[in-house]
Amino acid sequence: MLPRVADSLSFLYLDMVRVVQDDTGVCAQIQTPDHRTDLVYIPTAALSCLLLGPGVSITTPALTTLARHGTSVVCVGAGGVRAYAAVLPDSLTTNWLEQQVATWADPARRLDVAIRMYGMRFQDDKLPQTVTLDQLRGMEGQRMKALYKILAQQHGIGRFRRNYHPDQWHAQDPVNLALSAANTCLYGIVHAALLALGVSPALGFVHAGTQHAFVYDIADLYKAEITLPLAFALHQSTNPEQEARRRFREDLRLLRLLPRIVQDVLALLTPARTDAPGADADTESRSERRDVEMVHLWDPKAGVLPAGVNYASGGD
Amino acid sequence: MPSMLVIATTAVPDHLRGALSRWTSEVVPGIFVGTVSARVRDQLWQAVTETVGNGAAVLVHPAPTEQGYAIRTAGTRRRVPIDFDGLTLIRMTATPQVKSEQSPP
């Protein structure tokens, strides 16, 4: 599971095409102006995320093939500006989802994860032991302001203000456009990684109240390092959105982002090793056992019990 | 650092096949496989593009892209590599619909 998610191609963006399953595979049909239909075959099994832009229609057999290969399909706005909906791949272990829900539902453990996330963003371990979430949010805001200022100075831009106005999309400056495009790509990749792990994109630790709360949590870990410098570097681009996607893909290769996302998510969801040293090994062996057996019965005392067994006592 | 290349040719002059076979093995008719340096690869490809004539050729070699390889083509074929924001996929150009333009029988 793990290496497969990390090894695959990151994403493919399509718009204004019809995606169908034919005798040989999944292909995008492109209508040419002279009423011919060109075909582009999609490497479904090698792809981790397919972004469908406006004007795409897709058939059920094509979606089925994509789901069977564990490719997450995300419906997005023009140029991948917004993510609207996603199709979840089938046949996943629920081990990490259960881990996430258990952590999320326990206020102490949830706070611990939130603090670890802020710690990862600061990239330093100088956080005081008794810091509150409130203080951390303030520190994070200061950091972002300082970073905007430094980047604007580096690229000779007078003043930068982060704007996000989907209704006046083309009136924005190139940096804002590139940043939105790159962030949406980042959300897509993070979303795909989360779905591939089988965790819920909706249960965030810092963000809340949206189906993408956990996506925003995880994406925030990488923005300062990846999408912000990229967007500022494109302040003179004539096509900042496409350029951002192209550069972002280059960066993905360089930074090997998918394996890192998977690693980081698993590290965040794994409880800190303060309790019994055998706890981790137990989780590990349980997850392996689950992969084989797929379905179990829950018991508050005995833990996980095999399914498909008749537990009736007595009688015949 | 030499790396592997594959060149597939269709209807190219015999002397080009000779030139290619000096550096590579023709494993099946028209398909050349070899391990050469980037410099030799570029010179071989230049020889291909100069003499391809009415034929067609395609070169596939390792490259530091997300896919791990790059594609170069010479001559015209129905299959055209196109770039999807950095991901190269093959577009199959449809044949002209002669039948639909004819009058019904």
Instruction: Give percent of chain B above pLDDT 90.
Output: 74
Interface of A with B (CB under 8 A): 9-10, 12-14, 30, 32, 35-43, 242, 245-246, 249-250, 252-253
Query: Cα A269 from chain centroid?
Result: 15
d(CA A78, nearest CA chain B) in Å: 14
pLDDT at A2 (0 to 100): 45
A215: in domain: yes
| Helix (H) / strand (E) containing B28 | strand B25-28
- Phi-psi group of A82: left, alpha or beta (phi > 0 → left; psi -120 to 50 → alpha; rest → beta): beta
Amino acid making up residue A247 = R
Distance, CA of A27 to CA of A22 (rounded, Å): 7
- Residues in CB range of A184: below 8 A, 6 or more apart: A76, A80, A81, A82, A83
Specify whether A99 is located in the same domain as A83.
Answer: no
pLDDT at A286 (0 to 100): 47
Number of neighbours of residue A7 by Cβ within 10 angstroms: 11
**What is the average pLDDT score of chain A?**
82
Specify whether A64 is located in the same domain as A173.
Answer: no
Total tally of structural domains belonging to chain A: 2
Specify whether A130 is located in the same domain as A25.
Answer: no
A28: in domain: yes
pLDDT at B51 (0 to 100): 93
Q: Which of A66, A87, A108 is the last residue of a domain?
A: A87
| Residue ranges in chain A modelled with pLDDT below 70 | 1-6, 79-82, 89-92, 124-129, 166, 169, 253-256, 272-294, 315-316
Q: What is the pLDDT of residues A98-124, one digit of tens each?
A: 999 999 999 989 988 998 898 888 776
Q: Which of A47, A70, A87 is the last residue of a domain?
A: A87
Distance, CA of A195 to CA of A11 (rounded, Å): 14
pLDDT at B104 (0 to 100): 65
DSSP conformation letters of B63-96: -SSSSSEEEEEEE--SEEEEEETTEEEEEEPPPP
pLDDT at B8 (0 to 100): 96
A310: in domain: no
Indicate the pairing of strand A49-52 with strand A12-14: parallel
pLDDT at A126 (0 to 100): 66
d(CA A274, nearest CA chain B) in Å: 39
CATH code, domain with A31: 3.100.10.20
Q: What DSSP state is assigned to residue A57? A: E
pLDDT at A93 (0 to 100): 73
Specify whether A192 is located in the same domain as A218.
Answer: yes
pLDDT at A221 (0 to 100): 93
Question: B92 and A43: CB-CB below 8 Å?
Answer: no
Specify whether A28 is located in the same domain as A110.
Answer: no
pLDDT at A172 (0 to 100): 77
Distance, CA of B55 to CA of B9 (rounded, Å): 8
Q: Are A49 and A189 in contact (CB under 8 A)?
A: yes
Q: What's phi and psi for A201, nearest 5 deg?
A: -70, -10
A290: in domain: no
Between A and B, how many residue pairs show a Cβ–Cβ distance under 8 A?
Answer: 50
Distance, CA of A158 to CA of A1 (rounded, Å): 47
- For the residues B61-72, what does the mean pLDDT come to? 90
The larger pLDDT score, comparing residue B37 to residue A305, is at B37
Specify whether A250 is located in the same domain as A105.
Answer: yes
Number of neighbours of residue A295 by Cβ within 10 angstroms: 9
Specify whether A180 is located in the same domain as A257.
Answer: yes
B85, B86, B96: residue with CB nearest A36: B96
d(CA A255, nearest CA chain B) in Å: 11
Query: Cα B26 from chain centroid?
Result: 14
Question: A249 and B90: CB-CB below 8 Å?
Answer: no
pLDDT at B55 (0 to 100): 92
| Helix (H) / strand (E) containing A298 | strand A296-299
| Model confidence band, residue B13 (pLDDT cutoffs 50, 70, 90) | very high
Specify whether A101 is located in the same domain as A247.
Answer: yes
Q: How many CA atoms lie within 13 A of A113 on its CB side?
A: 27
Domain containing residue A81? 10-87
Q: Are A56 and A14 in contact (CB under 8 A)?
A: yes
Specify whether A248 is located in the same domain as A106.
Answer: yes
Give the chain B residue nearest A46 (alpha carbons): B67
Kindly indicate whether the ipTM for this predicted assembly is greater than 0.90, answering yes or no. no
pLDDT at A3 (0 to 100): 47
Question: B67 and A30: CB-CB below 8 Å?
Answer: no
Q: How far is CA A308 from CA A21, A24, A218, A257, in A?
A: 36, 38, 37, 40
Whole-prediction pTM: 0.71
Indicate the Cα dihedral angle B92, B95, B97, B98, nearest 10°: 180
A314: in domain: no
pLDDT at A92 (0 to 100): 65
Indicate the Cα dihedral angle A160, A164, A168, A169, nearest 10°: 90
For residue B67, pLDDT beyond 70: yes
Question: B85 and A249: CB-CB below 8 Å?
Answer: yes
Distance, CA of A60 to CA of A83 (rounded, Å): 20
